[in-house]
Amino acid sequence: METTTKSIKFNLLPLTNSKKERVQTQADYFKEVYNRTSILLPTVIKPSRKQIGKWRKNIMKDIPLYAQTIQEAMSLAMANRKTAIQETDDITILNKSVISYHNQSWSIERHNNRWYIKIPAEKNGRSYNKIWLPIKDSNYYDDIICMNYNYFGAGQYDIKSNTFITSMTTDINEIEYIPQTFIGIDRGWINPAVLVVIDKDKIVKEVKFFGGKEYIHIRKQYKNRRAQLQHNKQLKKVKEINNEEHRWMEYENHRISKQIIEIAKKYPNPIIIMENHLTAPNNIKSWTHASLRQKIEYKAGNTGIKVDYVDARYTSRTCNKCNHEEKDNRQTQNLFKCLKCGYTVHADLNAAINIAFLCA
């Protein structure tokens, strides 16, 4: 297993005037801590830990900045001072409006179908208020966040460019292996994905249904809201609802794909099997199956899990017990009952098992 560290730059949405004032105040505080530290450093040959602690204590009395952020500003000043000693004796002064954060000082949260970077701000008693920085919509950002949620490094917010830069560490599995675990995934209407795990002896080890009636209920809510707005000729609001629904669906696809990868990682040498896009149903647009498949591919690739594709025609009407294929075997949307052997099972689960069997 090999690891690699990558830098990630999050482009943010424009901030409200109130947020702009708040982050600018924080940046000014950060700049003041940095510059005060830079001025103090040349007064001693090599500051001890005790001396630095004394400086920090005095700075904290004067500047209402988050304690860990004060430490970050001082550390940055000391690091730049070492570089300056090698090149020039000049004191380094911070002019840019930037704020550095320890990896435990900031976080990424999801609210109202949007990702936010949450940073500490004004002191409020023993705690600190938070500023929520909205991240621009991007499938790439969604993938990065869902794969590395709570595993990012230190961050830095640049006010001028309105960007937040951090880092992430990912594992790269370069070992070739022979599949021992086969994970079949069937995509459908009520259930966006049904997963089954089987071993090399074709024994079912795990079953997972994603979605269900609650998802249909949410979709119907969006549909009803959109119909009402269209009736009232509120076209701008209709567009907003469409965008909100799209973000919600994208988030659900990310959540589902992440859970699929987590399940796969529990088993030895897994391979994920999905239906070939040429044979996938093209009349089901509501769950953006292509998007779900892409997210599974991306996350599997990052963790070294192999993905394969099969011709899934007739898997929904073929019995996984006796291999009898007949259209009437699928009696309803959810019910599969083999007319030959009488085997009864959820129709989507039957299809997922058959998809897995095609590679097992």
The residue among 310, 304, 299 whose CA lies nearest residue 185 is 310
pLDDT in tens for each of the 360 residues of the chain? 556 677 888 999 999 999 999 999 999 999 999 999 988 888 877 888 898 899 999 999 999 999 999 999 999 888 877 654 444 455 678 888 999 999 999 999 888 888 999 999 988 888 899 999 999 987 778 777 876 655 788 999 999 999 999 988 765 554 456 788 999 999 876 788 999 999 988 999 999 998 767 777 887 888 888 888 888 888 888 888 888 887 888 888 888 999 999 999 999 989 999 987 544 444 444 446 777 888 888 888 778 788 888 888 889 899 999 999 999 999 988 899 999 999 999 999 999 999 999 887
Fold of 181-214+255-357: Nucleotidyltransferase; domain 5 (3.30.420)
Structural contact between residues 303 and 261, judged by C-beta atoms closer than 8 angstroms: yes
Domain with CATH 3.30.420.140 in the chain: 181-214+255-357
